[in-house]
Amino acid sequence: MALPNELTEALDDLLEGNIAFKEININAKEISKKYRENNNDGSRLVTRKEEAVSYALSRMPATYESVSDCLEKIFEKNNFNISSTLDVGAGTGAATWALYNFFDEKTYTCYEREDEMISIGKRLMEKSKLIQYTEWKKFDIINDSIEGTFDFIAVSYMINELPRDQIKSVVEKLWNATEKVLLIIEPGTPRGYANIKTIRNLLIKNGAKVIAPCPHEEECPLPENDWCQFSCRVQRSKIHKALKDGNAPYEDEKYSYIAFSKQECLNTDNRILRHPIINKGYSEYKVCSKDGINNIKLSKKDGDVYKIAKKKSSGDSLNI
């Protein structure tokens, strides 16, 4: 799913300021290194305007795509009638853009700790109707209280920035402020998935219903040396290609996620965990199901089921 034209144009406009592209490129690489080396120690990773601009240009497309991907999975079988959303650790607002594209004219709130991120986030929304429906607030998830409750709360790539001893209390704070759905996205790495697994165990004990990706609420059946990750394709703009030092028109963003509901919900029978193996005349799928991890093989003799399954990819449901 491509970025909205309004957001693409707004990102292009960021380059018309006084920041040289060379500096943006350097900042983007330094920020990427900070995030890779971050070890749940609570460090501030983006504080200067130049860093916020670089972050927006380099990271917003991938965050937008991963949130959009998760929304498709959450609402595949459910309609939660969402009227208000909260984006916690909003950065420059990528998740809120994805929420707006999905829900249209609702009430959006962005909580963000860094002033420069808020400033750039507001600037990116100025030429879009989204600005009319969005409230930005300076907010520290550890020290500040969430005011009121929200139908849908999105937390993208933030839990991995928290001190480890604060994750439990932060997640409980988020859950208490959730009216209907809580979505948490982390990097698709062993450590990112470890955070997701910790959150999953905690909130299931608190009565949360898992919407996706899991088809059940039992103990995760993956072995300790394995992890659950999915990917979405990110279309690269000319600027994005330059920042990534590549000519490919796209890149694949790997992420782990978990979505919870406070009400009864429907989920899939089987979730594809790895890219399907497509052979001549048959295909193979590693799936997570209500009875554990299974390997499913489909062939031409399975008719329409086989044809439909061939179009599926990692992260999709495989209802057979």
Instruction: Write out pLDDT tens, residues 256-269.
Output: 999 999 999 999 99
Q: Is-cis flag, bond preceding 213, omega within 30? A: yes
Is residue 166 domain-shared with residue 286, that is, in the same domain?
A: no
Looking at residue 40, what is its pLDDT?
63
- The CATH number given to whatever domain includes residue 146 is 3.40.50.150
Is residue 277 domain-shared with residue 256, that is, in the same domain?
A: no
Is residue 133 domain-shared with residue 224, that is, in the same domain?
A: yes
Looking at residue 50, what is its pLDDT?
81
- Among residues 62, 88, 29, which one has the least CA distance to residue 252? 62
DSSP conformational letter for 272? E
- Cα–Cα distance between 172 and 150 in angstroms, integer? 14
Is residue 230 domain-shared with residue 286, that is, in the same domain?
A: no
SS3 284: strand
Looking at residue 186, what is its pLDDT?
96
Average pLDDT, the chain: 90
Number of neighbouring beta carbons within 10 Å of residue 106: 16
Looking at residue 41, what is its pLDDT?
59
- Among residues 156, 182, 312, 178, which one has the least CA distance to residue 260? 182
- On whether residue 237 sits in a domain, the answer given is yes
Is residue 150 domain-shared with residue 297, that is, in the same domain?
A: no
DSSP conformational letter for 166? G
Is residue 280 domain-shared with residue 242, that is, in the same domain?
A: no
* Contact (Cβ atoms closer than 8 angstroms) between residue 135 and residue 143: no
Number of domains in the chain: 2
SS3 279: strand
Looking at residue 49, what is its pLDDT?
83
Is residue 165 domain-shared with residue 295, that is, in the same domain?
A: no
The size of the chain, in residues, is 320
Residues of the chain with pLDDT under 50: none
Give tens-digit pLDDT for 51-92: 888 889 888 999 999 999 999 999 999 999 999 999 999 999
Beta bridge partners of 181: 152, 261
- Cα–Cα distance between 43 and 235 in angstroms, integer? 30
Is residue 126 domain-shared with residue 154, that is, in the same domain?
A: yes
- Among residues 224, 221, 223, 202, which one has the least CA distance to residue 213? 221
Is residue 211 domain-shared with residue 290, that is, in the same domain?
A: no
SS3 280: coil
- For residue 72, give the amino acid letter: E
- On whether residue 125 sits in a domain, the answer given is yes
- Cα–Cα distance between 87 and 81 in angstroms, integer? 17
Domain boundary among 242, 261, 280: 261
SS3 42: coil
How far is residue 78 CA from its own chain's centroid?
19
**Concatenated DSSP letters of 100-158:** HHHH-SSEEEEEES-HHHHHHHHHHHTTSTHHHHEEEEE--TTTSPPPS-EEEEEEES-
Residue 191 belongs to domain spanning? 5-261
Q: Give the pTM.
A: 0.93
> Apex CA 125: angle with CA 123 and CA 127, to 5°?
95
Checking 265-268 for CB contacts under 8 A at 24+ apart, the result is 265/77, 265/78, 265/80, 265/209, 265/211, 266/77, 266/78, 267/77, 267/210, 267/211, 267/212, 267/214, 267/215, 267/216, 268/76, 268/77, 268/212, 268/215, 268/317, 268/318, 268/319
Is residue 111 domain-shared with residue 245, that is, in the same domain?
A: yes
Is residue 244 domain-shared with residue 100, that is, in the same domain?
A: yes
Is residue 194 domain-shared with residue 288, that is, in the same domain?
A: no
Looking at residue 121, what is its pLDDT?
97
